[in-house]
């Protein structure tokens, strides 16, 4: 299993980023969540088989969200516990 924390910067709030990310997640065997941060970034935490997580993150970059992403910062997580499905956090 692989768990990642990703911070997206750019024009990532107010463009449906969280909703699109949740839709993309439905096509993968991953669990996690996505939320807006007060500083204008979006934070995503995801867990799943390593190849599923990597493909999921690649799909986000290659989707209609890609042009809105100026940079992404990826960190490994020890684990993502107590999460089922993929949700939007507020």
The single residue of 11, 22, 35, 36 carrying the catalytic annotation is 36
Asked if 11 is an active-site residue, the reply is: no
Alpha helices of 1-90 — where are they, by DSSP H?
17-25, 50-62
Residue 34 CA to residue 86 CA, distance in Å, equals: 8
Asked if 35 is an active-site residue, the reply is: no
Q: Pairing between strand 30-36 and 42-48?
A: antiparallel
Positions marked catalytic: 18, 36
């Amino acid at each position: 299993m692989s768990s990642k924390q990703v911070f997206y910067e750019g024009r990532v709030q107010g463009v449906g980023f969280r909703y699109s990310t949740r839709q993309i997640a439905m096509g993968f065997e991953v669990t996690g969540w996505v939320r807006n941060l007060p500083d204008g970034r979006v934070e995503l935490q995801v867990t799943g088989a390593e190849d599923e997580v990597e493909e999921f993150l690649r799909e986000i970059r290659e989707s209609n969200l890609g042009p809105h992403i100026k940079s992404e910062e990826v960190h490994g997580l020890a684990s993502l516990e107590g999460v089922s499905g993929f949700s939007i956090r507020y």
